[in-house]
Amino acid sequence: MPPAGPLYVHVDLDVVDPGEMPAMNYPAADGPHLRDVRMAMIHLATTGRIVAFSISSWNPSLPGADVAAAAAARLAAPFLVDL
């Protein structure tokens, strides 16, 4: 359970398993799977207490940048709402 109060969520994308999140300057070997990070994002989003969300970016000049962009969009989706 996250602490009480408003939450600021930041995800460094290079922590995700590099096989699922390519195009990182500093990939972390043996990182969590994308689905596990996404489930954590969904859990946090359901608290209704998110006041800000940010992610680090991938390197668009590296191979797999399109895969990383799509994966980042899946991670951000739980926080996006129609305004």
In a domain, 22, yes or no: yes
Q: Which residues of 9-23 are buried (b: 16+ CB within 10 A; e: fewer)?
A: bebebbbbbbebbbb
pLDDT at 82: 57
Predicted model pTM: 0.88
Domain housing 50: 7-79
- The number of distinct structural domains making up the chain is 1
Tokens of 33: 């799977």
In a domain, 54, yes or no: yes
In a domain, 2, yes or no: no
In a domain, 1, yes or no: no
Which residue type does 54 have? S
pLDDT in tens, 29-76: 899 999 999 999 999 999 999 999 999 989 999 999 999 999 999 999
In a domain, 24, yes or no: yes
Alpha-carbon gap, residue 40 to 22, rounded angstroms: 20
- Is residue 2 very low, low, confident or very high in pLDDT (cuts 50, 70, 90)? confident
